[in-house]
Chain A
Amino acid sequence: MKLRPLHEIHTRRFGRNLGVGLVLALFVALVFGLTVVKVTSIGPMPAFDHVVRPELLPQGGE
């Protein structure tokens, strides 16, 4: 018997699977784009880790 690596259901549902795949890819791209826009639109932020924050240093050099 000849081995068929591609089942009939794969060809029958190709359009449906392709559509769902494209919609999911678009959704991922949208979330990524939204993240980039949101993060870049809030302006510069101080990096709190391993960085000296001048506003937290005691005043008058004490």
Chain B
Amino acid sequence: MTDIHLAEQAPEAGFGDYVQLLKPRVMSLVVFTAAVGLLAAPVSMHPFVAATAILFIALGAGASGALNMWWDADIDAVMQRTRDRPVPAGRIAPDEALALGLALSGIAVVMLGLAANWVAAGLLAFTIFFYAVVYTMWLKRTTPQNIVIGGAAGAFPPMIGWAAATGGISLEPALMFALIFMWTPPHFWALALFMKDDYANAGVPMLTVTHGRRATRAHVLAYTLALAPLAVGIGFTAIGGWVYLAVAVALNLWFIRGAVAIWRRDEAAAETDRYAVEKRFFGFSLSYLFLHFGALLVEAALRAQGWGAWG
């Protein structure tokens, strides 16, 4: 009877907890960017195969999220933002998260290979390895550049989508990769600026902890300035056009303005308005990426109608 009583006391995982293990918000971004990579490619795919390929790219991303939660359960338990995740909250055992992550990784890679091609599957396997091993296990706890190099993992999906359609990679998917890669540091460092003590408490060497907040503000500006020509430059490639160029110029001017505002502030000013500028910049950074890829999608639709800007 005691055992039954204990079983009732223990928190039990529902289906939603397993879904949460796959980081559905990250997956939604992966679905979108992979879909744009696939649809912007000059080779058309059967819609069902395309949808399946995107689904398995997202599943691979989810699997790497589960592996991340398995490895990071100790620091997730310390940070306010992550302490209610299924593993640190005790609803899912770490071994279960590891098993689910490994199993789903295998399923996603093999199914993407069968549905699309093995170049895309190989890229997905590398992405999972990069996020779970290179970023989560190695860089995240050892270097303040963790976000910069780890951002590559999040930048691969459009490239995988492109490879799923074409069977290879070229300049355009490399530029889409570079766009997300360069966007990631200012996005996360803005978050680190107003999630003040979370990373320090967890012992994660974020730039705010190792080099101070002044240096982080300067880094946000530097990366934003480097990002702008890259983002606008995509407009002059085969996947760009006038719509994309107009959107990119407007968004990057706005983004640089936000980064300059962050750079010019000191901590006293930020404390006064409770990091309003940093929070606004972080919120806008999400729209920034979404609208750039949305514009690429519009250009792809225009090209399909024969209205491509560059012939």
Q: Which residues of A contact B (CB under 8 A)?
A: 12-13, 15-16, 18-20, 30, 33-34, 37-38, 41
Contact = CB atoms under 8 A, between A and B. Distances in A.
Interface stretch (B47-55, B118-126, B133-141, B235-243): B47-55
Given A16-B13, A30-B52, A41-B46, 14 more contacts: A15-B14, A15-B15, A16-B15, A18-B15, A19-B15, A19-B18, A20-B15, A34-B48, A34-B49, A34-B52, A34-B115, A37-B46, A37-B48, A38-B49
Interface string B289-304: 0000000000000000
B114 interface: yes
Contact of B14 (A16, A30, A34, A38): A16
Nearest to B47: A37
Interface of B: 12-15, 18, 46, 48-49, 52, 55, 114-115
Contacts of A16: 13-15, 18
A16 B12 CA distance: 10
Nearest to A30: B52
A30 B110 CA distance: 14
Secondary structure type dominating chain A contacts: helix
Nearest to B17: A16
Contacts of A13: 12
A34 B55 CA distance: 13
Contacts of A12: 12
A37 B14 CA distance: 35
Nearest to B15: A19
Contacts of B114: 34
A16 B17 CA distance: 9
Contacts of B15: 15-16, 18-20
10 contacts: A16-B13, A16-B15, A16-B18, A19-B18, A20-B15, A30-B52, A30-B55, A33-B48, A34-B48, A37-B49
A37 B55 CA distance: 16
A32 to B, nearest CB: 11
A34 B110 CA distance: 13
Nearest to B12: A12
Contacts of B46: 37, 41
Contacts of B52: 30, 33-34
B41 to A, nearest CB: 18
Contacts of B14: 15-16
Closest 10 CB pairs of A and B: A19-B15, A16-B15, A37-B48, A37-B46, A15-B15, A33-B48, A15-B14, A34-B115, A16-B14, A37-B49
